[in-house]
Amino acid sequence: MTQPQGLVDVDHPEYVYKLQRSLYGLKQALRPWDERFTKVLLSLGFKSSYVDLSLFMKFNGQSIVVLLLYVDDIILTGSVESHVQAMISQLTKDFDMTDLGLLHYFLGLQIEYQAQGIFVHQSKYVTYLLQKMNMLHCKSCITPCHPNHKLLNHGSPYVLDPSLYRSIVGALQYLTFQRLDIAYSVNQVCQFMHSPLKDHFVAVKRILMYLQGTIGLGLCFKPGSMDIKAYTNADWSGDPNDRRSTIGFVVFLGSNPVSWSSKKQHTVSWSSTETEYRAMAITTAEVMWIQQLLKDLHLSSSSTPLLHCDKAKHIEVDYHFMRERVQQCIIVL
């Protein structure tokens, strides 16, 4: 660390300080903070999740205390209120903490407690974005993008201020944590961050116009079944710029969507079947991750996860063709 003003060594002004401890705010501070906090949690009987290292659980008979850590923001909950309060008291002995009570706001997410369940939305964040772009009172759109319209990497002038484009698109990415209805549209505009065109900025403004009319939308998580079901699809060679395919999936736990994604594949697929199989494989991996997370929490689904996907019709035709030939004894497998 550079010698601070007023404490410069006269004989060695070019020297720097070697830190014996980490200081808050340094890039190197994250690792020792995480190590220190994890060490305390483990000493209190917590176990880290196998698939999410920021999630910790402590089991005591039939009760459970769950702690989720994001840098220095913490969510703490459990099945027995007295056990949760006891854990807060133990943590305050080692760390300077503030108990903010019932969770209402966390990393831009607003949480409301309703009769039918927990309602999560980002109304304040959406309002902030619209105010930043002077679009709080603009005309709204009913969809976040034009149906069947593909963005091209040519055909219009470059944006004069690409930093503004990157700033607003980055903010929209954060919004997809809860707004799965704009996941595909945001994925499209994210692909032109390096050299955005005016057509791309028009697409971004359409997303904002859609958000202006849907500020209050959110997700309502309701208690119910623990069954997992997933939906996946892909558009083969749908990108006109590089002919790569875009895959999308959403995974439900009961009636609640818990994971979703819209992402362009890294390579060009030679067939629609290859695209569909890749989409199915990525979705299956996500389902397995959720299964392991539930297992870490000592929860389990009552049935085998169900994956809804497109059928590859020509494979089905080939299968029936071969089955007929085997039944006719034309060929033996």
State residue 314's pLDDT score.
66
pLDDT tens by residue, 46-85: 999 999 989 999 998 889 999 999 988 999 999 999 999 9
Distance of alpha carbon 208 from alpha carbon 223, whole angstroms: 32
Residue that finishes a domain, picked among 43, 66, 101: 101
Residue that finishes a domain, picked among 212, 232, 247: 212
For residue 77, give the DSSP letter: E
In a domain, 155, yes or no: yes
pTM of the model: 0.83
In a domain, 244, yes or no: yes
Shared domain check, 228 and 279: yes
State residue 312's pLDDT score.
66
Domain span at 278: 224-327
In a domain, 238, yes or no: yes
Shared domain check, 306 and 249: yes
In a domain, 14, yes or no: no
pLDDT tens by residue, 6-38: 989 999 999 998 888 877 777 778 888 889 999
Shared domain check, 128 and 193: yes
Shared domain check, 252 and 186: no
State how many domains the chain has. Answer: 3
Shared domain check, 203 and 159: yes
Give the residues across from 263 on adjacent strands: 247
State residue 313's pLDDT score.
65
Shared domain check, 235 and 311: yes
- Indicate the average pLDDT of the chain: 90
**Segments of 236-305 assigned E as strands:** 246-253, 256-264
Shared domain check, 31 and 82: yes
C-alpha to C-alpha distances, 40 to 56, 69, 228, nearest whole angstrom: 12, 13, 34
Report the alpha-carbon angle 263-53-73, nearest 5. 90
Residue that finishes a domain, picked among 212, 242, 274: 212
Shared domain check, 123 and 61: no
Distance of alpha carbon 66 from alpha carbon 31, whole angstroms: 22
In a domain, 78, yes or no: yes
State residue 25's pLDDT score.
77
In a domain, 319, yes or no: yes
Beta-sheet strand order (sheet of 246-253): 256-264, 246-253, 228-235, 306-308
Do 157 and 197 contact (CB within 8 A), yes or no? Answer: yes
Token reading at 113: 């407690």
Those residues of the chain that have pLDDT short of 50 are none
Shared domain check, 63 and 131: no
CATH of the domain at 57: 3.30.310
pLDDT tens by residue, 254-267: 999 999 998 988 88
In a domain, 218, yes or no: no
Shared domain check, 188 and 246: no
State residue 321's pLDDT score.
81
Long-range contacts, 175-180 (Cβ 8 Å, 24+) = 175/122, 175/125, 175/126, 175/129, 175/211, 177/108, 177/109, 177/122, 178/109, 178/120, 178/121, 178/122, 178/218, 178/219, 179/122, 179/211, 179/217, 180/250, 180/257, 180/260
Shared domain check, 245 and 302: yes
Q: Phi and psi for 188 in degrees, rounded to 5?
A: -65, -50
State residue 199's pLDDT score.
94
HEC secondary structure over 100-118: CCCCCEECCEEEEECCCCE
Percentage of the chain surpassing pLDDT 90? 60
In a domain, 248, yes or no: yes
Shared domain check, 159 and 86: no
Do 49 and 57 contact (CB within 8 A), yes or no? Answer: yes
